Amino acid sequence: MELEAGKVAVVTGSASGIGFALAERFARAGMHVVLADIEAGALDAAAERIAAHGVETLAVVTDVSLEPAVQALATAAVERFGAVHLVCNNAGVMSKADAWTGPLSGWEWVMGVNFWGIVHGIRAFLPVLVESGGGHIVNTASIAGLMPGFGASYDASKHAVVALTEDLFLDMRLSPVPIGVSVLCPGWVRTELMTSERNWTGEGTVPGDSVTFAVIGHHVERALAEATTPAAIADAVAEAVIDDRFWVLPHDDFLDLAVARWELVAQKLDPEPAGDVPGLPSADEMLAEALAALSAADPPDPA
């Protein structure tokens, strides 16, 4: 699909990070942009910056975990622009809670945004794309959707996104309407993912950090600070949309780790820790640091 002046793009999670970069990339192509995010103030500021490119914008505060909210987003987009041609289901979060002994609310929040947010986005906008004569859907997953090791709830949600997006791609190949589908699986990107709990909408208060996250979190923060820019990721997405490609895999070094994981699967071997992850200390160093912290921590409350 060509990114042309006058076409309309919808981007969730567009107040910052990859979402904002996508919105800006599409605006530079002359597309009108519907921005959706749960952070109202940051969303308004982002919409102003996008409008400065000379395109029309619409900012809609949206909790993508709620189906009525995403349906309302689709309605607002059509009422304003009459059609939608490109949908980027990009909003995502990460919980630092312990997946096995922490509260279930951590899982529910992550799956609500990362998984259900994309399901809601597809179901709300697919009929709109059909009515518009075709278009393209981009779902933001992660390299964590191809290999585990980044936190159980996050990994599970991103694996689900890859799977459902591949199913959507295959289904759209049978559709009489030209609708392209892509899945974005980046490694480290310079975003605010580590502070996503600032937008906590789960039950109760934000769960405390797991022991492992408390130990290795600063390594991840440094890796993100030194990572690929969101603008570079947005360029990769734009190229995939134009070329009608399914996979958007901007980090070859991470892809090598994912391939190694699948080689274990092909050989029916037990899972192993990933090799050295780019931007982090060696796997052995990380494991030793985490084990030391776990041995020093208090045992979980059986209640």
Residue 35 is among the residues annotated as catalytic for this protein: no
Answer whether residue 289 is part of any domain.
no
Higher per-residue pLDDT: 130 or 287: 130
Share of the chain above pLDDT 70, in %: 96
In a domain, residue 90? The reply is yes
Task: Report the distance separating Cα 281 and Cα 242, nearest Å.
Answer: 37
Q: What's 210's domain CATH number?
A: 3.40.50.720
pTM of the full structure: 0.93
| pLDDT number for residue 278 | 87
pLDDT value, residue 219: 84
Looking at residue 133, its pLDDT comes to: 97
User: SS3 for 222-288, per residue?
Assistant: HHHHCCECHHHHHHHHHHHHHHCCCEECCCHHHHHHHHHHHHHHHCCCCCCCCCCCCCCCCHHHHHH
What mean pLDDT do residues 19-32 have? 98
For residue 285, tell me if it sits in a domain: no
Residue 267 lies in a domain: no
Pick from 2-11, 21-30, 108-117, 284-293: least confident: 284-293
Please indicate, yes or no, if residue 284 is contained in any of the structural domains: no
Where residue 292 falls among pLDDT bands split at 50, 70, 90? Answer: confident
Q: How do residues 72-122 score in pLDDT, each as one tens digit?
A: 999 999 999 999 999 999 999 999 999 999 999 999 999 999 999 999 999
Interval 142-196: pLDDT, tens: 999 999 989 999 999 999 999 999 999 999 999 999 999 999 999 999 999 989 9
What average pLDDT does the segment 18-34 reach? 98
Domain count, the chain: 1
Positive or negative, the Cα torsion across 254, 256, 261, 265?
positive
What pLDDT score was predicted for residue 291?
Answer: 73
Q: How far apart are CA 60 and CA 40, in angstroms?
A: 8
In the set 81, 107, 150, 154, the catalytic residue is: 154
Mean pLDDT for all residues in the chain: 93
| pLDDT score, position 294 | 66
H or E segment and range at residue 37? strand 32-37
74: in domain: yes
Structural domain containing residue 119: 8-252
In a domain, 272, yes or no: no
Q: How far apart are CA 273 and CA 203, in angstroms?
A: 32
- pLDDT (0 to 100) of residue 218: 82
Q: How confident is the model at residue 303 (pLDDT cuts 50, 70, 90)?
A: very low
- Whether residue 297 lies inside any domain: the answer is no
